[in-house]
Structure 1
Amino acid sequence: MDVIKKPFGEIDGEAVDSYTLRNDAGMEMTFMTFGGAITKILTPDKNGVLENVVLGFDTLEQYVQHVHYYGALIGRVAGRIGQAGYSSEGKKVELTPNDSGNHLHGGKIGFNRVIWAVEEVSVEKEEVSVRLSYLSRDGEEGYPGNVKVDVTYTLTNGNELLIQYEAEPDGDTPINMTSHSYFNLSGAYKEDILSHRLEMEADRILELSGDKVPTGKLIPTEGTGFDFSEGQTIGEGMKSGPKEGYDHAFVLNKKNDPIVLSHEESGRAMTVETDQEAVVLYTGNHLTGDLLTGGVKGREHLGLCLETQGYPDAVNHPHFPSVMVKKGEVYKASTTYSFHVLNEQG
């Protein structure tokens, strides 16, 4: 087990570092302090070949210039907030609009656009971890209250990547964090994600308006292209579902029920378990031709996100599970990504 720190560049004179967590099996996960973004995950295929399974860039400049949240931490609130605001105790809270008049993924300078501090590095016999922290100040992107945020990345010898989120505000404020990694289990982006198979127990999705903000209704997935209960490929689902691709919040039947993404050709599989209420499946519908790690050109459907979180736009729908965190309360969330090969666990 090891943690390796390297300089990755500077932004306005402030250093940005990368950290690589490596386990005894050879699996690696690398992130940088800008946006806390995961830049690389190396996992073995069915033949033991280690390859990268997340989309990313080779340089800091590319991360600064892009607009697609590659691998970044998202907050204070993930997803869209309709009309960039909400009401709290009879008062209107106005947030920064950055998506056709709505507020998306924390605003123009969300958690994905700041430099996080590394608070602690731990190397144990069976796991290594790094804890990041950031102070989100009162008024940032319109949000009330100061919030001390900690995120811990942990890699185990069982090829598990655990992301733990913790945030404590000094005043009432919404918090709903996630990680925005684009996964592609084919390895080194050899093909798109349409052949990836997804299995997920989610009987309902949030209905969306034309600008992709939840309407407040929950609609059943059974018998539709949104039904992954028995497993289907992304391409199969799109034929009878959203032709342009998925960008939808699935309501999980149970917390910590396994969500399994797999790719038959490589033999890779990833199991996701979360204590959150929902997961947004986004299939990279608007990815552009950026030059990615290794010189591969980006394109739509080259990666997919499984953004574990509370319901998007919950602040505007009182019947949704609340994402408001009151002064004195502590927000906690965790998601585990377990990597394995298909002949090991099916």
Structure 2
Amino acid sequence: MSCFFLVPHTRRDQTWLVLGAAAGAAFAYHRYATSRAAPQRGVASVSREDYGDASHALYTLRNGNGMTVKVSSLGCALTEVVVPTGSGASVDVVCGYDSLHAQQQGKHNFGTIVGRYANRIRGGKYSLDHDEFTLNTNNGPNHLHGGPSGFFSRNFDLVSATVTDSSVDLKLAYFSPDGEEGYGGDLAVTMTYSLSRGKRDALTMIFEGTAGVGGSASRTPSHRATVVNLTNHAYWNLCGHASGPAALLSHELWLPRSSEYTVVDASLATTGETAPVRGGSATDVVDLDYLSGWKKVDPRLDHNFCVGECVGRGELHEEGIEEGMVTVAMLQAPSSTSSPGGKRLRMLVSSNQVGVQIYAGGGIDPRNPQWQVPAKGGVTYQRNGAICIETQNWPDALNHAEKTSAEDSNAFAKHCPSSVIRPGAPKQYRHVATYAFQMVD
């Protein structure tokens, strides 16, 4: 099979070259994982191929250590993250589709960027600069993940694809005009996937948003401020994307900086309150104390956990992440499903955001026709078959954190950064998250 590999030139332009890609031998990671070809090693590259049609693309990033990431231009979606596990084996740890048609029919945000505002906005409304904005609702009375035609459904354009000594980088962009899904203001979004080279197997995601720029040259830009809160909606299972709920619910989770979570009502919209993960009320049905150490994934998890202040480096910082980032979550495969080398896979998630949504896939319903759309390898995903670890600002912070000085005693106003960005302002939106992988005893 032939691939188009990007090779950086000494000139400023870059050229796609056609090189042969050899197929490897099959193997099995462990009893849950799907067999895969041995990962290609030694060559770091980024390649492009048409995805369904010429207007959509599928990009493949390889770090030369055996880690491979595939990204669809539709929704800027992660469709594959293959991690080496030793002895020539590897495992694909994200759910996804392997065709444009399936991705369009499924509509489940597998691996996509969600926005303009991630999570729920109560009642689909917000106020900014004395104007009230009414958003398209798609989750009962609420607006969820940018609305029914959010960024997950938009085709992102290529900005750059580069290979350096330290990383393999893919940068894609989308322009969201004033009024899209009801939001005020123009928003130019770029998304960078950076696959590390060297000793670390890590995928860094850089979400950036700029107000008041972008669009066609003939279009008059909007001077309105806007709101933004982006995240990636990947569904993870470290035993393999198709390994199902038995494997996922045997995973262990640790949230080392989350002593509180944001409280929601019956519609799952934030109330504007926080509560401690320890010593909850008698009506609490989910034990949310993942602060103290490793604990099995609860199938009912669908909560935004508050992250302690991101101030400098601490004992939980992993090597190689940016200043201002902290480790917000750790997930590890069950010890009963160790690799042939006697180790298991662990994922460390670091971020510069104040929240992390943990969702154990309880809403996956194989009886729903949309969930019956075949995923990779013809798989039908099951309830609790994978988990989302979404770094983000707190949900609905735009309705709770933007308070006057007389009202700013609430937790949102104290701890959340502003969701508002303004055209021409020196500070725009930048969210960085790193998902690092290692084999442990």
8 Å contact 1:195–1:233 — kept in the other structure? no
Equivalences for residues 286-297 of structure 1 within 5 A: 286-289=363-366, 290=372, 291-297=374-380
**1:271 maps to 2:348:** yes
Is 1:257 the counterpart of 2:300 in the alignment? no
Distance 1:120 1:56 in 2: 24
Alpha carbons 2:357, 2:391 under 8 Å: kept: yes
Alignment partner of 1:282 out of 334, 354, 359: 359
**Is 1:135 matched with 2:188?**
no
Matched length: 333
CA offsets 1:188-208 (integer angstroms, 9 cap, x no match)? 422421111111120000000
Aligned AA (2:229) = N
Q: Residue 104 in 1 paired to residue 144 in 2? A: yes
Say whether residues 1:233 and 2:295 are aligned partners. yes
Give the structure 1 partner of residue 395 of structure 2.
312
Is residue 138–residue 144 contact of structure 2 (8 Å, CA) maintained in 1?
Answer: yes
Contact conserved, 2:174 with 2:189, CA < 8 A, in 1?
yes
1:190 aligns with 2:190: no
| 8 Å Cα contact 1:315/1:323 also seen in 2 | yes
Deviation (angstroms), 1:78 = 0.1
The RMSD of aligned alpha carbons is: 1.5
Residues 46, 268 of structure 1: 8 Å contact kept = no
Q: Bigger shift: 260-269 or 284-293? A: 284-293
- Are 1:271 and 1:337, in contact at CA under 8 Å, matched by a contact in 2? yes
Q: Secondary structure at 1:141's aligned position in 2? A: helix
Q: Distance in 1 between matches of 2:88 and 2:346?
A: 13
**Larger RCO, structures 1/2 (Cα 8 Å, 6+ apart):** 1
- Note the 1:148-159 alignment, pairs <5 A: 148-157=188-197, 158-159=200-201
Aligned equivalent of 2:315:
none
How is 1:321-336 mapped onto 2 (pairs within 5 angstroms)? 321=416, 322-329=418-425, 330-336=428-434
Q: How far does residue 48 in structure 1 lie from its aligned partner after superposition?
A: 4.5
Where 1:23 maps in the other structure, the secondary structure is strand
| Aligned-partner Cα distance in 2 for 1:275–1:174 | 18
1:9–1:78 CA distance, 2 compared to 1 (3 A): same
Give 1:253's aligned amino acid: G
Whichever residue aligns with residue 153 of structure 1, its letter is Y
Q: 1:8 aligns with which of 28, 38, 51?
A: 51
| Residue of structure 2 equivalent to 1:241 | none
With structure 1 as the length reference, what TM-score do the two structures score? Answer: 0.92
Superposition deviation, residue 124 in structure 1: 1.1
Shift of 1:250: 0.3
CA distance in 1, matches of 2:349, 2:279: 23
Deviations 1:127-185 (A, max 9, x none): 11011011110100011111111111100122110100111112311100000000000
Matches within 5 A, 1:170-181: 170=212, 171-181=224-234
- Seen in structure 2, the aligned counterparts of structure 1 residues 52 and 303 have a Cα distance that, compared at 3 Å, is same
